[in-house]
Structure 1
Amino acid sequence: MKSVAPLQGLWRHADFMRVWSAAGISAVGSQVTLLALPLTAILVLHASAFEVAAISTAVTLPNVLGIAAGVWLDRVRRRSVMIGADFGRAAVLASVPVAYAFGVINLPQLYAVALVSGALNVAFEIASQAYLPAIVRREELIEANVKLQGATVAAQGVGPSIGGALVTLVTAPVAILADAVSFLVSGLLIGSISNRYESGTSPVPPATTTRSELREGVRYVFSEPYLRPLLLSHSLANLALGLLWAIMIVYAVRVLELSAATIGAILSLGHLGGFAGAVFARRIAQRAGVGRVVVASFFLFGPAALLLALATSQTAIVFVGLGWILQGVARSLYAVSATSVRQALVPDRLQARTSGVVATTGTSAFPLGTLVGGGLAAAFGLREAMVVAAIVSFLPFVPVVLSPVRSLREVPNHSG
């Protein structure tokens, strides 16, 4: 039986506030690396567009192991995994500035760092999404996800500017050290959370096999009329984002002729949309219905990507800024509404497995997109690849608008 803090508002929920603080602090550092890692390849190692895209592929490729990770995470204490993943990411990322200081940094190392940190990202994300419903009640899930998304987006808003400034002041490889420190702090915060929430975790029955647990998680997601279209839309959105992000930094530097500091400032400006989406998501869901918010969030990816594709060196700041604001709104609305629906529908014993299914069959579309995006840029050019990304970005809303999801008024209560 899980232990949940009394219903008194999440700002007074000490352990949730530790999770909230850890999410915000690590998000600041991650935004620095999101900018500094590809810029290390571009500015220090003079990598090609395809080589830079391969870094994004390596970061997200471990999502294909999401289902297997979910099975394992339904058997162990999720908080311990979150702490280990934080400390592991800190160590791996710290290797970049160390290698740079000794003059031995190279592309294979960047790929290895991206791959290992990506694997730890998967473990942390699945564990944290499965852990949240153990800390807060079902009726608090939207509020909890709103607050977590708000902290993350606020951090993302300042992160790129900090990253751009650090790259300018201390070089791209050294800037990554800020992310390593952020993960150390996050791990310490999560380590200070009470362990009572998983005190009732029961061992896996001897007759249960890994294969049967895998099948159970997959069957649950694909047989549920709300989860199935959410997964398909999630997959298409990640495919589009992969196409886009694979070449975004190279496109900004070489086509739009933007500096690292300017790119960081634009990305920070764009996160204002994400912050607005996080702040108002709950109120919008109450008035318009959770289902309509989900549909709207997926639709906004299209216009956002189109603005990025149409930008020129003269209009870059306005077009990229507006595009990033729209995409921030879309991602925040989705993160709050769709994630809350999934967490509410899934029984606690299947939380990690269903998150793993989403990672493997949904989020793993991102590395596929990065590979295709890098290939398109190499074969046809950066501008042409961005246009393809914009076209694909109009597809994600189709599965949910044709499903029962669009009619949801509030978060359902089907979990047991």
Structure 2
Amino acid sequence: MTAPEPSPDRPAHRGRLWRHADFRRLWVGETVSQFGATVSQLALPLVAILVLHADTWQVGVLGACETAAFMAVGLPAGAWVERMRLRRVLIVNDLVRAALLAWAPVARLLGVLTIEQLYVVALATGVSTVFFDVAYQSYLPQLIDRELLVEGNAKLQASESVSQIAGPSLGGALIQALTAPYALLADAFSFLWSAAWVARIEARPPRPERSPDANLLREIREGLRFVLGNRMLRAIALCTSSANLFGSMASAVFYVLLARQLRLSPGFIGLLTSTAAVGGLIGALVAGRFAAKVGQGPAIWIAIAVAGPCALVTPFVQRDWTVGLFAVAQIAMWMGIVVYNINQVSFRQALCPPGLLGRMNATMRFLVWGTMPFGALLGGLLGSTIGVRGTLLAAAVGQSLAFLPVFLSPLRRLRELPSYAEPLVASEV
């Protein structure tokens, strides 16, 4: 089977995606949604720390709640999504997240907000995000040709990085002006905006036909078999899950370090967090050219190998010039992470048969995000025992070694990676 021929609404040349109306609508909606999401990423832990006076363990539990859904419903979500209209899945879950995040400021206004309510909001929002993300990554290949996936993912990643540059600064200012609970309203409105733009997408892929003998467990096994049966996908899953485990360990205590130990203001924390996204923007802009220069496989392992050791700066940050060094390290780290993500996600999308996209994405999300709640709980536990800086150091060592699975796989030497259209074509460096 070969990839579909380009149509007038699906341009075949690089640089022409801006003329693709449906891609633009998806891009605009997601860009605004990402701005709001970066506000909540900063606001939720700061609500716990500054408003509810949560301890390190409770902040770790909150971080675990935000990602627990990928472990709990990640696998069946892929099979369920494949039976639904993807555009509808995106709209519904945008609306659900808007309603959930609007609850925290309402509860604060009524004087009934508790840490347990934040746990529920984080858990429920996470479930909705699972379905949205699985549908989103499966929808993009339906809108554009597969040879444009790197360009499409790079454009979406670039807009995400821009939002991460401006979003935390905006979030810090909103938190400082309105307090953290009310800043979450910005996130709720952003999801409404995203839903409105996705609703304008004109492409209407037919509803997937459900086989009379459809079986959820069998479909889940097929997704697992596809991912785990491919040595390169296994390596990517192991690398990303390891990086996410240790990254979540660090995230669980990161804001405790900045807000409680260094006593930085929410506005400055937002500004400092934004510097990381500068690297993400650079990574999005150079990902395609870097892969063309060094090869698609080497681009994946080199990028993550460079990113990991940059985390070793964080445990030693003080309220002095080392804050600047931390900002530079964050730029370098996120540049590598984004180059890695764009190339490995594009490879996965190009390799997978259309009928397995939802299950492949859900399986990968389950494997690579399922480690995050454990990392957050471990970070909270270690932060309460060996201290915040000791936890950050342990996490940084783990992040530095996460590249090994992809380095030791065939990705190290494959200049051109296989695709679904030509699954056996690959040339070595």
TM normalised by structure 1 equals 0.96
Counterpart of 1:87, as a letter, is: L
Q: Is the 8 A contact 2:48 2:54 kept in 1?
A: yes
Q: Are positions 1:180 and 2:184 aligned together?
A: no
Q: Are positions 1:11 and 2:15 aligned together?
A: no
Structure-2 separation of matches of 1:206 and 1:363: 32
Cα distance, 1:371 vs. partner?
Answer: 0.6
Q: Are positions 1:258 and 2:264 aligned together?
A: yes
User: What SS does the corresponding residue of 1:300 show, helix, strand or coil?
Assistant: helix
Q: Are positions 1:157 and 2:165 aligned together?
A: yes
What residue number does 2:54 align with? 47
Structure-1 separation of matches of 2:183 and 2:417: 41
Structure-2 separation of matches of 1:152 and 1:260: 21
User: What SS does the corresponding residue of 1:394 show, helix, strand or coil?
Assistant: helix
The CA deviation string for residues 218-262 of structure 1, in whole angstroms up to 9 with x for no partner, is 001011122111111111111111111111111112233321111
Cα distance, 1:400 vs. partner?
Answer: 0.3
Q: Are positions 1:60 and 2:67 aligned together?
A: yes
Residue 143 of structure 2, aligned match among 135, 138, 143: 135
Counterpart of 1:191, as a letter, is: A
Structure-2 separation of matches of 1:188 and 1:410: 38
Q: Where does structure 1 lack aligned partners over 5 or more consecutive residues?
A: none
Structure-1 separation of matches of 2:119 and 2:328: 31
C-alpha RMSD of matched pairs (Å): 1.5
Residue 192 of structure 1, aligned match among 200, 208, 212: 200
What residue number does 1:219 align with? 225
Counterpart of 2:380, as a letter, is: G
Cα distance, 1:409 vs. partner?
Answer: 2.1
Q: Is the 8 A contact 2:108 2:181 kept in 1?
A: yes
Q: Is the 8 A contact 2:307 2:335 kept in 1?
A: no
What residue number does 1:85 align with? 93
Structure-1 separation of matches of 2:363 and 2:402: 18
What residue number does 2:402 align with? 396
Q: Are positions 1:239 and 2:248 aligned together?
A: no
Q: Is the 8 A contact 2:10 2:145 kept in 1?
A: no
Q: Which stretch has the larger CA shift, 250-259 or 231-240?
A: 250-259
Counterpart of 1:157, as a letter, is: I
Residue 295 of structure 1, aligned match among 301, 313, 319: 301
Q: Is the 8 A contact 2:174 2:180 kept in 1?
A: yes
Correspondences of 1:67-78 after superposition (within 5 Å): 67-78=75-86
Q: Which stretch has the larger CA shift, 314-323 or 328-337?
A: 314-323
Structure-1 separation of matches of 2:120 and 2:354: 34
Q: Which stretch has the larger CA shift, 47-56 or 325-334?
A: 325-334
User: What SS does the corresponding residue of 1:202 show, helix, strand or coil?
Assistant: coil
Residue 362 of structure 2, aligned match among 356, 360, 367: 356
Distance 1:239 1:32, change over 3 A: same
Q: Are positions 1:410 and 2:407 aligned together?
A: no
Correspondences of 1:304-383 after superposition (within 5 Å): 304-383=310-389
Q: Are positions 1:148 and 2:159 aligned together?
A: no
Structure-2 separation of matches of 1:123 and 1:415: 27
Q: Is the 8 A contact 1:57 1:366 kept in 2?
A: yes
Cα distance, 1:395 vs. partner?
Answer: 1.9
Counterpart of 2:214, as a letter, is: T
Structure-2 separation of matches of 1:384 and 1:317: 18
Q: Is the 8 A contact 1:238 1:362 kept in 2?
A: yes
User: What SS does the corresponding residue of 1:393 show, helix, strand or coil?
Assistant: helix
Counterpart of 2:183, as a letter, is: A
Counterpart of 2:192, as a letter, is: L
Cα distance, 1:195 vs. partner?
Answer: 3.5
What residue number does 2:125 align with? 117
Identity %: 38
Q: Is the 8 A contact 1:246 1:370 kept in 2?
A: yes
Counterpart of 1:45, as a letter, is: L
In the TM superposition, structure 1's runs of 4+ consecutive aligned residues that sit over 6 Å from their partners are: none
What residue number does 1:169 align with? 177
The CA deviation string for residues 88-142 of structure 1, in whole angstroms up to 9 with x for no partner, is 0000000111111111111011101100111111111110001111111111000
Counterpart of 1:181, as a letter, is: F
Q: Aligned pairs, how many?
A: 414
Q: Is the 8 A contact 1:49 1:250 kept in 2?
A: yes
